[in-house]
């Protein structure tokens, strides 16, 4: 159910809080953001035909609103609400442009954190700590190894989640929320399974497991079939 937002500020109230913000009043900044959330929700509705939920769209739009409040200048000829509309719209459009251009998962995009809280990427799973001269060759070799390891070390559900999260085997990358909806489980549970699966792959890569498996195993596509409800 959509959250109920506070009513917008009138022109006089808006001027007052903008002036307070210019003096460093952070509470005034929060008020300006809160009282413009209806605007964010209104603009976000235009994108409801996309795969993102209304909650996600509002979260993305709110980033634009925060940028608007932070960069607005009181001497502008337009009200903050008008300026914020453009910023919110731009943030949403930028998100969808980026999503469209990133259909193929980037090996260097952060996908989680290790036990020490340090971020790691898919490249951390497949790359070897060799010299830069051989880095590309090794990466290609290890990507092939990764594909052979997936059906060997992961359960059916783990394979499905990893393949669909990162667009492996020419599938379309999905968000954790989309996978959760497909499997009928919570997003947090998808996140836990994903982290466990990535840890399995990292251990297997480190131990060299799967190096003797024919690369032809890569042609199999374990990410196409939805996993059974009983598998973890």
Say if residues 183 and 190 touch (Cβ distance below 8 Å). Answer: yes
Residue position matching structure tokens 């497949």: 126
DSSP per-residue string spanning 95-124: HHHHHHHT-SPPTTSEEEE-TTS-EEEHHH
Q: Which pLDDT score is estimated for 38?
A: 92
Q: Write down the pLDDT at residue 20.
A: 93
Per-residue pLDDT of the chain (232 residues; tens, 9 = 90+): 445 788 899 989 999 999 999 898 989 999 999 999 999 999 999 888 877 888 889 999 999 999 999 899 887 778 898 999 999 999 999 888 877 655 444 555 565 555 556 665 655 555 444 334 334 444 445 566 777 788 888 899 998 998 888 777 777 888 889 999 999 999 999 989 988 888 888 787 777 654 443 333 333 455 555 554 445 4
How much is the pLDDT for 223? 53
pLDDT of residue 116: 56
How far, in Å, CA of 232 to CA of 216, rounded?
26
Q: How many residues does the chain have?
A: 232
- The pLDDT assigned to 137 comes to 44
What pLDDT does residue 213 have?
36
Sign of CA dihedral 75, 81, 86, 91: positive
Q: Which among 64, 68, 121 is positioned nearest to 88, based on CA atoms?
A: 64
Within 10 Å of residue 40's Cβ, how many Cβ atoms? 28
Q: What's the pLDDT score for residue 217?
A: 37
By three-state DSSP, how is residue 213 classified?
A: coil
121: phi then psi, degrees, rounded to nearest 5? -120, 175
Residue 130: the pLDDT is 38
Q: Please provide the distance, in angstroms rounded to a whole number, between the alpha carbons at the two ends of the chain.
A: 30
- Which tokens hold the place of 150? 């997936």
Alpha-carbon span 214 to 227, nearest angstrom = 25
pLDDT of residue 197: 86
* Strand spans (E) along 14-94: none
Residue 186 contacts residue 161 (beta carbons within 8 Å): no
How are the residues of the chain apportioned to helix, strand and coil, as percentages rounded to the nearest 5? 65, 5, 35
Phi, psi of 177 (to 5 degrees): -65, -40
Task: Give pLDDT, residue 128.
Answer: 40
DSSP 224: S
Alpha-carbon distance of 200 to 59, in angstroms, equals 32
């Amino acid at each position: 159910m959509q959250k109920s937002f506070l009513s917008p500020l009138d022109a006089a109230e808006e001027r007052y809080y903008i002036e307070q913000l210019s003096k460093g009043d952070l509470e005034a900044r929060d008020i300006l953001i809160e009282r413009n959330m209806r605007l964010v929700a209104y603009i976000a509705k235009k994108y409801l035909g996309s795969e993102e939920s209304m909650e996600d769209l509002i979260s993305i739009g709110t980033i634009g609103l925060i940028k608007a409040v932070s960069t607005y200048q009181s001497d502008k000829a337009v009200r903050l609400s008008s300026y914020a509309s453009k910023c919110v719209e731009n943030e949403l459009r930028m998100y969808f442009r980026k999503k469209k251009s990133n259909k193929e998962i980037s090996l260097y995009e952060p996908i989680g954190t290790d036990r020490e809280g340090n971020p790691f990427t898919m490249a951390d799973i497949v790359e070897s700590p060799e010299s830069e001269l051989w880095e590309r060759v090794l990466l290609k070799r290890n990507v092939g190894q990764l594909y052979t390891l997936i059906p060997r070390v992961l359960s059916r559900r783990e394979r499905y989640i990893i393949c669909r999260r990162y667009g492996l085997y020419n599938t379309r990358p999905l968000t954790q929320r989309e996978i959760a909806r497909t499997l009928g489980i919570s997003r947090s549970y998808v996140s836990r399974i994903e982290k466990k699966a990535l840890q399995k792959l990292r251990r297997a890569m480190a131990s060299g497991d799967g190096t003797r498996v024919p690369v032809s195993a890569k042609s199999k596509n374990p990410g196409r079939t939805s996993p059974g409800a009983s598998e973890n």
